[in-house]
Structure 1
Amino acid sequence: MEITGRIVKDASVFKVKENREVVNFSIAVNDSYKPKGSTETKKIVTYIDCSYWLSAGLAQWLRKGTLVQLFGRIGLNVYIGNDARAHGSLTFHTSDIKILVFAQAENPKAVPAPKQQKESDDPDDLPF
């Protein structure tokens, strides 16, 4: 299965038993449709939790805003909660990640403008 979306929060790495690591992240998938008999397009966003087990080093590239194409399978987690009711969640178990567009830096390091020297009529006020 293949899905494409933007990462909504920087990926995190968790250590699990037997010294294994998993990279967890979530993506937002945008979609739109036009209801029957309507001229207005409806936009919907689906958030999908994802996990990647093959290399924790990839987490450094999975930053908020990065557009990724994922290949893998959907897994279902079912459990009985404290309220004695059944609960479930879906996780996309990623086997291959292709980064389509890297995220923009939130605070790019700007090169400071050179300081302007005040013009002075006094020759003794020169910076050299």
Structure 2
Amino acid sequence: MEISGRITKDAVTAKVSNAREVVNFSIAINDSYRPKGSDELKKIVTYIDCSYWMGSKMAQWLKKGTVVELFGRIGLNVYNNAEGKALGSLTFHTSNIKILVFPKTENSSSLPAVQKKNTDQDTPDDLPF
């Protein structure tokens, strides 16, 4: 399954056991629809809790405002609260993360530098059009 959205707050790494760590974060997915018989566009936001078990170093790149594309599966957590009422929540168990857009920050030096390829040599000066 594939979903994409914007990270709502910086990712947090939690130690589960001596050798296991999980990166927890959440994303917001913006959507809109037009109700039947209406000209008004309704906007909705869906928040999804996500977990990433493949490596804790990924947390440094998962900052608030980053747009990501996630691949994985949905998991259901069911439990009884203190009053005995059954509750549940969904978590997207991420197996692959693709960063689409880094957030704009005042100090962008912490983001990786992207080198632009010089294409002047590759483009001929006498184009036929």
Cα distance in 1 for partners of 2:21, 2:92 equals 16
Q: Deviations along 1:56-90, whole A, 9 cap, x unmatched? A: 00100000000000000000000111011101110
User: After the TM superposition, which residues 99-110 of structure 1 pair with which residues of structure 2 at under 5 Å, given as runs?
Assistant: 99-105=99-105, 107-108=106-107
User: After the TM superposition, which residues 35-46 of structure 1 pair with which residues of structure 2 at under 5 Å, given as runs?
Assistant: 35-46=35-46
What SS does the aligned partner of 1:60 have? helix
Larger radius of gyration: 1
Cα distance in 2 for partners of 1:44, 1:96 equals 26
1:17 Cα deviation after fit: 1.4
Q: Deviations along 1:5-59, whole A, 9 cap, x unmatched? A: 0000000000011320000000000000000111110000000000000010010
Q: Which runs of 5+ in 2 are unaligned?
A: 109-129
One-letter amino acid of the structure 1 residue matched with residue 107 of structure 2: P
Instruction: State the partner residue of 1:19.
Output: 19
Instruction: State the partner residue of 2:82.
Output: 82
TM-score w.r.t. structure 1 length?
0.82
Instruction: State the partner residue of 2:115.
Output: none
Instruction: State the partner residue of 2:51.
Output: 51
What SS does the aligned partner of 1:58 have? helix
* Aligned Cα root-mean-square deviation (Å): 1.0
One-letter amino acid of the structure 2 residue matched with residue 22 of structure 1: V
TM-score w.r.t. structure 2 length?
0.81
Q: Which runs of 5+ in 1 are unaligned?
A: 110-128
Instruction: State the partner residue of 1:118.
Output: none
Instruction: State the partner residue of 2:124.
Output: none
One-letter amino acid of the structure 1 residue matched with residue 73 of structure 2: R
What SS does the aligned partner of 1:78 have? strand
Cα distance in 1 for partners of 2:98, 2:30 equals 18
Instruction: State the partner residue of 2:3.
Output: 3
Cα distance in 2 for partners of 1:18, 1:78 equals 26
What SS does the aligned partner of 1:59 have? helix
